[in-house]
Structure 1
Amino acid sequence: MNGGLYRSTHAAPDGDPRPEDGVTVVSVDDQIPTAGGDQALPPERVPAGESEGGSTTGQSAIMAIGSLVSRIIGFVRNALIGMALGAGVGDAYTSAQFLPNQIYELLLGGILSSVLIPLLVRRRKADPDGGQAFTQKLLTFAVVTLGLAALLVVAAAPVITAIQASSENSAAYKDLVTHFAYLILPIIFFTGVSALIGAVLNVRGHFAAPMWAPILNNLVVIATAGAFLLMFGRGDLTVDNISPAQIALIGGGTLLGMVVQALGLLPALRKVGFRWKLSWDPRSLGLGEIGRLAGWMLCYVAANQVAVFVMVKILNRVAGKGSASVLAFNNVFLLTMMAHGIIGVSVMTALLPKMSAAAAEGRFADVSADLTRGIKLTVAALAPISVVYAVLGVPISVMLFEGGNYTHAQALDTGTVLTVAAFAVIPLSVSYLCTYAFYSLQGNKTVALINLPVVVVRVAAYLIFAAGLSRGLLAAGMTAANAISYLVSALVSLAVLRRRVGRLNLGSVAAALIRVAIAAAVAGALGYLVVRLLPGAGEPDGRIEALIQLVAGGAVILIAYLVAATLLRVREVSQVVGMVRRKIGR
């Protein structure tokens, strides 16, 4: 969902599961992966001299800045929600937010990127009117379908929340989730409309509005959380004593944020010359073809949503009972995705066009070289971030989350989850990099098939950790299960890719990973020793001690990692430093 709600990994077919974005960036020049087997529908090429949206550099800069700002504001949003509601009520709110996300993904999320956008691209270049009539019919059909689905889901809210809740939840907790769901489930409609409008804009070369509109959403929810804190202040807020006015404010503000996001995209439609009018003609859309093409992606998305359902149901066992649960897990996942988005997605975005071009020309050795180079660069860049999360997980959580109704003890529990998440950051990005390699090879069916055993492993790990861990460690266990599944995904993907493209030069990758691991271990040990000598000794009592630990420990970790990596001749580190210097220079 917008604002940073957890999605199971690979839930977004564009490889970047950023809930706050909601749309897939694509232009008419892109090779677009589809779900209709291993051969994608080739989009039409833009005629020479035709410009759809300005220079690639300019659009990339807009997207990069928008993504960074959106992530930061989305994180502020989640932190304020936690401060306003606390862990117990916040767990119910977050659990309710999972519902529209899961349903949206099944209805439209995967199909939009894998099927509908390629169709819009083709009709854009093939139809005499530039795809105007087809797009109007598609939007009309989607709006009507999404509206009916939203109405049905809202009516079934008590049934849906009862299925997702645990038998150990109190009646008050289940009722609270249902009350939040009544207000939040209509988001399905506005999320779908926002994503469709964003797709229309992307296809017409306009990227700024879809990238920046989610910020409007986050600002509305931030204002809502701020108003909640001002009006109700800090108190002993629980699932038993929260008032209808408080539920209406936070739930209604969340819905309003998504409404504002959708409305904020309408002016951009006029800017690109698209006039949206209702045109009901579903038979002309070729829904049978769309259904056939969407089959593998539906399989892919449905498997992921099963894993999300199991995870939420397990965490609901301890929701509102003083242990890290849904809210803590989601906040930590957002931090994990932030690291992946800053580094992993940047590397993947740069490599995908090169790998796609090489694959199209049969230069599989170049695909292999780009993939191995991307893995080494991603691991080298993410290693110090993983070390920071592992060593400084508790002070980070105290600094970011403690306050309002989110207590010190709850922040410490969140820090434990973040420490475990440190081991998920690198496998997550590597698995996504492999997925992008399959996209370059037009291998979406392969991606869906690989995802099935990965989800089986993830769900099995969820159940094993749920059975073997204490209640206080359930959120950390679910995070560890994710990390295991990411690693399995990466290893299986590399094995399959080796059969598809030949030798992957994994020997050089292994050698580079060993050097990076040594540098990270040195940095982690030194950072841990420094933090243990500081006030609070790793468990800061308040933000002042947390800030001291973050500044001192973070500086030691970063410097130690750079020095150790340089001495070990990790070339990728110098490349990352050079890239940062060039960006700062620009």
Structure 2
Amino acid sequence: MAKSRLLSSTLVVSSMTMLSRILGLVRDVVLMGVFGAGGLMDAFLVAFKIPNFLRRLFAEGAFSQAFVPVLTEYKEQKTFNEIQLLISRVSGVLGVILLALTVAVLALAPFVIQLFAPGFVDDPAKFNTATELLYLTFPYLFFISMTAFFGSILQSYGRFAPPAFAPVLLNISMIVGAWLIAPMLDKSIMALGHAVAVAGVLQLIIQLPDLYRKKLLVAPSIDFKHEGVRRILTLMLPAIFGVSVTQINLLLNTIFASKMANGSVSWLYSAERLSELPLGLIGVAIGTVILPSLSASRAKADMIEFGKTLDWAMRLIVLIGLPASVAMFVLSDVLMNALFVRGEFSATDGDMASLALRCLSGGILGFMLIKVFAPAFFAGQDTKTPVKIGIVSVFANMLFSVVFIGIFYLAKLPLHGGLALATTGASFVNAGLLYYFLQKRDIWHFGKHWYKMGMQFVIATLAMTVSLYAVLPYYPQDGSAWAKLAVLIAICVLGAVVYGVVLLASGFRPRQLRHG
């Protein structure tokens, strides 16, 4: 990908992602307002988290990280007919694996719920509801994984908008389900299961026109012996663990939370959704855009261009990730109060969710760094290193969970906060080890220009923090929902303006964000 297109492609993905995240936020506000943070919502979140977790592994995670470098290499070195053959064979193999997995999980649905939420066993109503919902939500895995497969192809050919827009359809479908369909059903929460199933089909369909125009929509064919398929599977199997460590850690939190106070799953979910807002807007967008570019640089053995692309991505990550982490911590109470406390989601629920957000906020930068560092290994078709680091990170998360839950228990604090803090600690273990091996192997390291630039980011973030604390007393705790939202937006805009002004005053210039 040409240098001039990296930033524009990032802006395309970020804008589509912003639309999706805004609608996602509206969706979560609607869901919590309609269903609250009790047993029904906990049951749905677990039933939806299972296919969503596997989606991150098969789709956005391991599969795309293994498939894109191989497809990029085919584009550089093979004929168009060979590219079509690769796509045909990969779609056939991926499809049959997904179908087999879907059938197996649906056949064992009660056991799967018991595995992912063992705490639900003591509440038959919640357990049975989660099982019924899993029957509706799990087929979503097949459709969304195939959507991600087609999206990876389009991204490799410079078409980022359709894949980035697809999640918007999920948010719209769930909002319609909660508002319009739920009141019509005896068991209202089942409307969300139907909404997820419909969204999976719609997200797949919108990818097809672009693929057809590029003559890349070819009939699937199952061939496990195809050279490209074997390489992708070889890269994918270990990458399943390596690239999805964050999701594994969050899933462990769900398992622990299912045994905690009623509503713990929902409180953690609300916090995760807000913490993922900057991650999705910048971290995922940049990680998506740079992978084809990094893969092309490795295929050409152009390590200078490879390093420039990584350095450019890091500048954007730190520019956004550092202030976002701090702002989420400072504004956690206000964010939950303004966005979620309404309807069935009580003020107490808001307090519990804001505690989780404070504990997760520090990890936003860590999560973003993983999104940049991991593709640097996958672009070179190295999946072993991230896997080893992933194993360490998962064990670190389990250790942190035990330690922090114990500390929170002794301090008489809600235990779900310890789980969130453990996830934050594990994210920095993961990101730190990835960077250690990047610089040890002389792939990339922070250059001298980062000393000054890093200090500029820190100074601007400190100024933003002071300004946020200064205006927080003006937030109307008992005002109308619209007044609260208006003040929240004003506070966020003020913090962003202070950050930008101080950053410019410190000598930072927009041209420093140019590639190279």
Is TM (by shorter chain) over 0.5?
yes
Cα deviation, 1:517-545, whole Å, max 9, x if unaligned, reads: 44433432342233225543xxx565255
Unaligned runs of 5+ in 2: none
Residue from 64, 77, 86 that aligns with 1:113: 64
Contact 2:315–2:513, Cα closer than 8 Å, also in 1: no
Whole-Å separation in 1 of the counterparts to 2:310 and 2:270? 30
How many residues get paired?
507
What is the deviation of 1:312?
0.9
1:70-91, CA deviations, whole angstroms, 9 ceiling, x for partnerless residues? 2222332233222222111222
Pick the aligned partner of 2:176 from 209, 216, 223: 223
1:297 paired residue number: 239
Aligned to 1:187: 140
Mapped partners of 2:104, 2:337: distance in 1: 41
Distance 1:473 1:215, change over 3 A: same
Once the two structures are superposed, the pairs formed by residues 172-211 of structure 1 within 5 Å of their partners are 172-203=125-156, 206-211=159-164
**C-alpha deviation, 1:183, in angstroms:** 1.1
Sequence identity percentage? 22
Give the 3-state SS of the residue equivalent to 2:66 in structure 1.
helix
Q: Which has the higher helix share?
A: 2
The answer as to whether partners of 2:14 and 2:282 remain within 8 angstroms in 1 is no
Q: Tell me if the contact between 1:97 and 1:184 (Cα under 8 Å) persists in the aligned partners.
A: yes
User: CA 1:156/1:425 → structure 2, altered by over 3 Å: closer, same or farther?
Assistant: same
Give 1:244 shift. Answer: 4.9
> Does the C-alpha gap of structure 1 residues 219 and 460 become closer, same or farther in structure 2, counting only changes over 3 Å?
same
Counterpart CA distance in 1 for 2:84 and 2:375 is 31
1:256 CA drift (Å): 1.1
Q: Do the aligned partners of residues 138 and 373 (structure 1) sit closer, same or farther apart at CA in structure 2, a change above 3 Å counting?
A: closer
Deviation at 1:362, TM superposition (A): 4.8
The aligned counterpart of 1:8 is none
- What do residues 6-37 of structure 1 show as CA deviations (whole Å, max 9, x unaligned)? xxxxxxxxxxxxxxxxxxxxxxx69xxxxxxx
Stretch deviating more after TM superposition (106-115 or 173-182): 106-115
Superposed CA RMSD: 3.8
TM-score by length of structure 2 reads 0.83
Counterparts of 1:55 and 1:549, CA distance in 2: 37
Which runs of structure 2 are paired with 1:77-116 in the superposition (5 Å)? 77-88=27-38, 89-106=40-57, 110-116=61-67
Aligned to 1:153: 105
C-alpha spacing 1:119/1:386, structure 2 compared with 1 (3 Å): closer
Letter in 2 for 1:227: L
**Is the alpha carbon distance of 1:270 and 1:555 closer, same or farther for their aligned partners in structure 2, counting shifts above 3 Å?**
closer
Comparing 475-484 and 340-349, the one that deviates more: 340-349
**8 Å CA contact 2:325, 2:362 repeated in 1:** yes
Per-residue deviation, 1:564: 4.4
User: Does 2:423 correspond to 1:485?
Assistant: no
Name the counterpart of 1:428: 367
Q: Secondary structure at the match of 2:365?
A: helix
Q: Which amino acid aligns with 2:23?
A: I
Q: What secondary structure does 1:317 align onto?
A: coil
Q: Does 1:396 align with 2:310?
A: no
Maintained 8 Å contact 1:526/1:560: yes
The aligned counterpart of 1:40 is none
Asked whether the equivalents of residues 82 and 401 of structure 1 are also in contact (C-alpha less than 8 Å), the reply is yes
Corresponding residue for residue 73 of structure 1: 23
Counterpart AA for 2:104: L
- What is the DSSP-based 3-state SS (H/G/I as helix, E as strand, rest coil) of the residue aligned with 1:412? helix
TM-score by length of 1: 0.74
Once residues 544 and 275 of structure 1 are traced to their aligned partners in structure 2, the CA distance between those partners, rounded to angstroms, is 47
Paired letter, 1:269: L
Alignment partner of 1:473: what SS?
Answer: coil
Sort the Cα spacing of 1:473 and 1:513 in 2 relative to 1 into closer, same or farther, 3 A: farther
* 3-state SS, counterpart of residue 259 of structure 2: coil
CA contact (8 A) 2:181 2:191 kept: yes
Rounded to whole Å, the distance in 2 between the matches of 1:347 and 1:306 is: 22
Q: Residues 101 and 356 from structure 1, CA distance in 2 versus in 1: closer, same or farther, beyond 3 angstroms? A: same
Question: 2:339 and 2:56 mapped to 1: Cα distance?
Answer: 29
- The one of 209, 228, 231 aligned to 1:267: 209
Q: In the alignment, does 2:90 pair up with 1:143?
A: no
Partners in 1 of 2:201 and 2:295 — Cα distance? Answer: 38
Map of 1:575 onto structure 2:
510
Distance in 2, Cα, partners of 1:356 & 1:285: 19
**Is residue 204–residue 272 contact of structure 1 (8 Å, CA) maintained in 2?**
no
Match of 1:409 among 348, 367, 371: 348
Match of 2:408 in 1: 469
Structure 1 residues not aligned, in runs of 5+: 1-28, 31-53, 233-242, 581-586
- Choose 81-90 or 439-448, whichever is displaced more: 439-448
In the other structure, the counterpart of 2:436 is 495
Query: In the superposition, relative to structure 1, how do residues 329 and 542 fare at CA in structure 2: closer, same or farther (>3 Å)?
Result: farther
Return the offset for 1:548: 5.7
